[in-house]
Amino acid sequence: MIPTKGYAAKQAKGALEPFSFERKAPGPKEVLIEIAYCGVCHSDLHKVNNDWGGSAYPLVPGHEIVGIVNKVGKDVKRFKPGDNAGVGCFIDSCRNCEACKDHEEQYCASATWTYGAKLADGLRTYGGYSERIVVNEDFVLTIAKDANLASTAPLLCAGITTYSPLKHWNVGKGQNVGIVGLGGLGHMGLKLAKSFGAKVVAFTHSPKKKEDALRLGADEVIVTSDVASMEKHKGSFDFILDTVSAPHDLNQMLGMLRRNGHYVIVGVPSDPHAVHAFSLIEGRHSLSGSLIGGIKQTQEMLDYCAKKGIVSDVEVIPMQDINKAYERMLKGDVRYRFVIDMKSLK
Ligand code: NAP
Ligand code: ZN
C-alpha cells in the first residue's frame, strides 16, 4: 500500500480538506502515475454538492489527470517509468458488453468511474485531487512527450466530451454550429468545432465573455439575453452543443435550430429540463445527449489536439485554493479551466 495525500469532501456541500488514504501498489497490468496536474470539472462540484444524488463521502474528485509514470507492473506493454500519461473519467469497464466491444466503455453499465465508484472489495475509487493514482494500462492514455501537461489535463474530460458528439454528428465544413455556455467544456467545443471547419457561434449569458469568445475562434457571439440577436439567428443552426451547468430555457435554444437540426446536451443541471413538444415537432428537431467518450476516441482526440496545437486555456491553482475555485466556477468566473498543480500537495 502507498500512503497518498489528497483533498476530499467529507459531506455533501462540505468544503474540500486534506485527506490521507492508501493506493494499492500496481498489479501486473497496472501503472502507477505520479499526478502532475488535475483539471477541475464542474462535474466535480456537482458530485461534491450531491446535485445528482448518489454521492458517497469522503469524496476525492478529479478526472482530468495527467502525470508521469513512476512504476509499471510486469505485464504492462505501453508505458515505462518517466512517460507522460493521462487518466480520464473512468478506469475500468466490463470489457464484454456491446458498448465495450464498440470501444464506447463510457456506456458500459459497469464502467468504474475514476472517483466515487464502489469496487468489488468494498473500497471506493478516489480521483485526481491527489498525489498519485494506479490504473490498468488499458485505461491509461498516452500524452505526447513535449505536451504542456497543465493545459492538456482538461482534454481528458472537457476535450473528449465535446470532441465525441462533434464527431458522432459529423460536424464540419458548411455547417452553422452553436456552442452554448463558455466554460471548460464550451471553450473546448468552440476550438474543436472551429478546427473541423464549421462556422461557430458562441451562445453566452455573460456579455463580458464576448471578446474572449472571438479570440477563442468564434465567428460570432450571441448573448442569450439579447432578444434582437436571438431573433435574427432563429432557425439557422445545423447543430448546437449545450454545455450549460445550470437551468436554462431549452425551448428558446431549440428554436435556433434549422429544419432537421440536432441539439445535443452535454451539460447536466441538477433539475430536469422542460421541453415543449412544439420545440421538437416544428422543424423536425432532434434532441440528444452525449457522455464523455471511449478510450480509443480519447486517444484519437489527444493525438489530434497535439497535432493541431489545441489545448485548454487554464488558470493553474494550488490545491489549497480549491474551495475558492469552486465558488468562482459557480459564478462563471473561470477562464476557462482551473487546473490544480499537484506540487502544492507535497
Ligand atoms: P463550467 O466551466 O462551469 O461552464 C458552464 C457554463 O455554463 C458557464 O461557463 C456559463 O457559460 C454557463 N452557465 C452557467 N450558469 C448558467 C445559467 N444560469 N444560465 C445560462 N448559462 C449558464 O462547467 P463545465 O466543466 O464546462 O461543465 C458543464 C456541464 O457539463 C456541467 O453540468 C458538467 O457536469 C457537465 N459535464 C458533462 C459531461 C458529459 O459527459 N456529458 C462531461 C463533463 C461535464 P456562459 O457564462 O458563457 O453563459
Ligand atoms: Zn468532467
pLDDT at 123 > cutoff 90? no
Q: What is residue 101's predicted lDDT score, i.e. its pLDDT?
A: 98
- Residue 46 alpha carbon, nearest atom of ligand 1: 34
The answer to whether 285 touches 307, Cβ cutoff 8 Å, is no
In 3D space, the residue among 113, 129, 184 whose CA is nearest the CA of residue 9 turns out to be: 129
Residue-by-residue DSSP string for 190-236? HHHHHHTT-EEEEEES-GGGHHHHHHTT-SEEEETT-HHHHHHHTT-
- For the residues of 136-156, what is the DSSP string, one character each? EGGG-EE--TT--HHHHGGGG
Give the pLDDT of residue 244: 98
Compute the distance from residue 245 Cα to the ligand 1 centre, in Å. 4
With 90 as the cut, is the pLDDT of residue 49 above it? Answer: yes
Average model confidence (pLDDT) for the chain? 97
- Alpha-carbon dihedral of residues 310, 315, 318, 319, nearest 10 degrees? -70
Q: Does pLDDT of 39 surpass 90?
A: yes
- Ligand 1 and 265: CB distance under 6 A: no
Tell me how crowded residue 207 is: count the other CB atoms within 10 A of its CB: 12
Ligand 1 pocket mutation, candidates 42, 249, 336, criterion most atoms within 8 A of CB: 42
* 235-282 pLDDT, tens digit each: 999 999 999 999 999 999 999 999 999 999 999 999 999 999 999 999
Examine the pLDDT at 97 and tell me if it is beyond 90. yes
Q: Quick check: 122 pLDDT over 90?
A: no
Residue 337 Cα: closest atom of ligand 1: 2
**Domain boundaries 159-289, corresponding CATH code:** 3.40.50.720
CA-proximal residue: ligand 1, atom 16 (nearest): 246
Q: Is the pLDDT of residue 120 over 90?
A: no
- Which class for 116: exposed (0-12), middle (13-18), buried (19 or more C-beta within 10 A)? buried
The per-residue pLDDT for 5 is 98
Nearest residue by C-alpha to atom 2 in ligand 1? 183
Q: Which stretches does DSSP call E strand in the chain?
A: 2-9, 16-23, 30-39, 65-72, 84-87, 90-92, 112-113, 132-136, 141-142, 176-180, 199-204, 220-223, 237-242, 257-265, 286-289, 314-318, 337-341
DSSP-assigned letters across all residues of 331-346: TT--SSEEEEEGGGG-
182 lines ligand 1 (CB under 6 A): yes
Average pLDDT over residues 278-303: 98
Q: CATH topology of 2-157+294-345 equal to that of 159-289?
A: no
Confidence band, pLDDT 50/70/90 cuts, at residue 121:
confident
Query: What's the grid cell of residue 252?
Result: 428558446
- Record the pTM: 0.98
**Across residues 327-341, what is the average pLDDT?**
96
Around Cβ 189, how many Cβ atoms within 10 Å?
A: 32
Closest atom, ligand 1, to C-alpha of 42: 25
Structure confidence by residue, pLDDT tens digits, 78-96: 999 999 999 999 999 999 9
Report domain extents, the chain: 2-157+294-345, 159-289
Any idea which ligand is nearest the CA of 204? 1
187: pLDDT confidence band, cut at 50, 70 and 90?
very high
Q: Taking the domain 2-157+294-345, which CATH number applies?
A: 3.90.180.10
